[in-house]
Amino acid sequence: MSNLSEQNSGKSNIGGKSANINKIESGLGLAKKAGAVISGAELVIESVRKKKACHVFLCSDASGGTVKKLLDKTEFYHVPVTKLDLTMSELARCVGRVSPTAAVSLTNKNFLKLFNLTDLTEETMEVHL
Protein backbone atom coordinates (compact mmCIF):
# COMPACT_ATOMS: atom_id res chain seq x y z
CA MET A 1 0.00 0.00 0.00
CA SER A 2 1.31 3.40 -0.93
CA ASN A 3 1.57 6.40 1.36
CA LEU A 4 -0.16 8.66 -1.20
CA SER A 5 -3.45 10.35 -0.49
CA GLU A 6 -5.28 12.44 -3.02
CA GLN A 7 -6.89 15.79 -2.31
CA ASN A 8 -10.06 15.98 -4.39
CA SER A 9 -12.27 19.01 -4.74
CA GLY A 10 -14.18 19.47 -1.51
CA LYS A 11 -17.91 19.96 -1.07
CA SER A 12 -17.77 23.65 -0.27
CA ASN A 13 -16.55 25.66 -3.22
CA ILE A 14 -15.22 29.20 -2.70
CA GLY A 15 -14.25 31.20 -5.76
CA GLY A 16 -13.95 28.09 -7.93
CA LYS A 17 -11.71 26.27 -5.46
CA SER A 18 -12.54 23.97 -2.59
CA ALA A 19 -12.11 25.22 0.96
CA ASN A 20 -9.41 22.59 1.54
CA ILE A 21 -7.36 23.84 -1.42
CA ASN A 22 -7.62 27.43 -0.16
CA LYS A 23 -6.48 26.24 3.28
CA ILE A 24 -3.51 24.44 1.74
CA GLU A 25 -2.51 27.44 -0.38
CA SER A 26 -2.51 29.80 2.59
CA GLY A 27 -0.85 27.25 4.88
CA LEU A 28 1.99 26.62 2.43
CA GLY A 29 2.53 30.35 2.07
CA LEU A 30 2.76 30.78 5.83
CA ALA A 31 5.08 27.78 6.20
CA LYS A 32 7.31 29.16 3.42
CA LYS A 33 7.60 32.51 5.22
CA ALA A 34 8.66 30.62 8.34
CA GLY A 35 11.29 28.70 6.39
CA ALA A 36 9.57 25.34 6.81
CA VAL A 37 9.08 24.51 3.10
CA ILE A 38 11.44 22.98 0.57
CA SER A 39 10.30 23.28 -3.05
CA GLY A 40 11.37 21.54 -6.25
CA ALA A 41 11.28 17.81 -6.91
CA GLU A 42 15.02 17.15 -6.55
CA LEU A 43 15.33 19.22 -3.37
CA VAL A 44 12.26 17.49 -1.94
CA ILE A 45 13.77 14.06 -2.69
CA GLU A 46 16.99 15.19 -0.98
CA SER A 47 15.03 16.44 2.07
CA VAL A 48 13.27 13.07 2.30
CA ARG A 49 16.58 11.22 2.02
CA LYS A 50 18.13 13.40 4.75
CA LYS A 51 15.03 12.85 6.94
CA LYS A 52 14.19 16.55 7.05
CA ALA A 53 10.78 16.22 5.37
CA CYS A 54 7.76 15.36 7.50
CA HIS A 55 5.15 15.58 4.69
CA VAL A 56 5.29 15.97 0.91
CA PHE A 57 2.72 17.71 -1.31
CA LEU A 58 2.66 16.68 -4.97
CA CYS A 59 0.97 18.62 -7.79
CA SER A 60 -1.59 17.06 -10.09
CA ASP A 61 0.37 17.44 -13.35
CA ALA A 62 3.80 16.13 -12.31
CA SER A 63 5.44 13.81 -14.83
CA GLY A 64 5.29 10.06 -14.33
CA GLY A 65 9.03 9.81 -13.71
CA THR A 66 8.95 12.52 -11.06
CA VAL A 67 5.96 10.92 -9.34
CA LYS A 68 7.66 7.52 -9.33
CA LYS A 69 10.92 8.91 -7.88
CA LEU A 70 9.06 10.82 -5.17
CA LEU A 71 6.80 7.91 -4.24
CA ASP A 72 9.71 5.46 -4.12
CA LYS A 73 11.70 7.72 -1.76
CA THR A 74 8.77 8.69 0.43
CA GLU A 75 7.62 5.09 0.75
CA PHE A 76 11.11 3.89 1.67
CA TYR A 77 11.55 6.64 4.29
CA HIS A 78 7.88 6.48 5.46
CA VAL A 79 7.04 10.10 4.64
CA PRO A 80 3.34 10.76 3.86
CA VAL A 81 2.45 12.28 0.48
CA THR A 82 -0.66 14.22 -0.48
CA LYS A 83 -1.46 14.73 -4.16
CA LEU A 84 -3.10 18.12 -4.56
CA ASP A 85 -5.63 19.41 -7.05
CA LEU A 86 -3.12 22.12 -8.03
CA THR A 87 -0.99 22.45 -11.15
CA MET A 88 2.77 22.95 -11.03
CA SER A 89 2.35 26.70 -11.57
CA GLU A 90 -0.30 27.01 -8.85
CA LEU A 91 1.82 25.05 -6.37
CA ALA A 92 4.83 27.25 -7.17
CA ARG A 93 2.75 30.38 -6.63
CA CYS A 94 1.71 29.09 -3.18
CA VAL A 95 5.33 29.03 -2.05
CA GLY A 96 6.42 32.21 -3.82
CA ARG A 97 8.28 30.66 -6.75
CA VAL A 98 8.11 31.88 -10.32
CA SER A 99 9.13 28.64 -12.02
CA PRO A 100 6.75 25.65 -11.83
CA THR A 101 7.42 23.08 -9.13
CA ALA A 102 6.18 19.50 -8.96
CA ALA A 103 6.50 19.01 -5.20
CA VAL A 104 7.06 20.73 -1.88
CA SER A 105 7.92 19.28 1.49
CA LEU A 106 7.22 20.51 5.00
CA THR A 107 10.14 20.37 7.39
CA ASN A 108 8.30 21.36 10.57
CA LYS A 109 5.64 19.03 11.96
CA ASN A 110 3.87 21.88 13.72
CA PHE A 111 2.64 23.20 10.36
CA LEU A 112 0.75 19.95 9.72
CA LYS A 113 -1.92 21.25 12.10
CA LEU A 114 -2.65 24.10 9.66
CA PHE A 115 -3.63 21.66 6.96
CA ASN A 116 -5.82 19.47 9.17
CA LEU A 117 -4.36 16.46 7.37
CA THR A 118 -6.80 14.05 8.96
CA ASP A 119 -9.45 15.58 6.66
CA LEU A 120 -7.16 15.42 3.63
CA THR A 121 -6.05 11.82 3.99
CA GLU A 122 -9.41 10.12 4.46
CA GLU A 123 -9.08 8.40 1.10
CA THR A 124 -5.69 6.71 0.92
CA MET A 125 -5.18 4.96 -2.35
CA GLU A 126 -2.76 2.49 -3.88
CA VAL A 127 -0.79 3.81 -6.79
CA HIS A 128 0.50 1.52 -9.52
CA LEU A 129 3.00 3.18 -11.84
DSSP-based three-state secondary structure for 127: coil
Q: In tens digits, what is the pLDDT along the chain, a chain of 129 residues?
A: 456 655 543 333 334 456 677 788 888 989 999 999 999 999 999 999 999 999 999 999 999 999 999 999 999 999 999 998 899 999 999 899 999 999 999 999 888 888 776 444 433 333 322
Domain that holds residue 72: 4-120
In a domain, 115, yes or no: yes
In a domain, 126, yes or no: no
Count of the separate structural domains present in the chain: 1
Do 71 and 129 form a contact (C-beta atoms < 8 A)?
yes
Domain of 60: which CATH number?
3.30.1330.30
In a domain, 45, yes or no: yes
**In residues, how long is the chain?**
129
In a domain, 127, yes or no: no
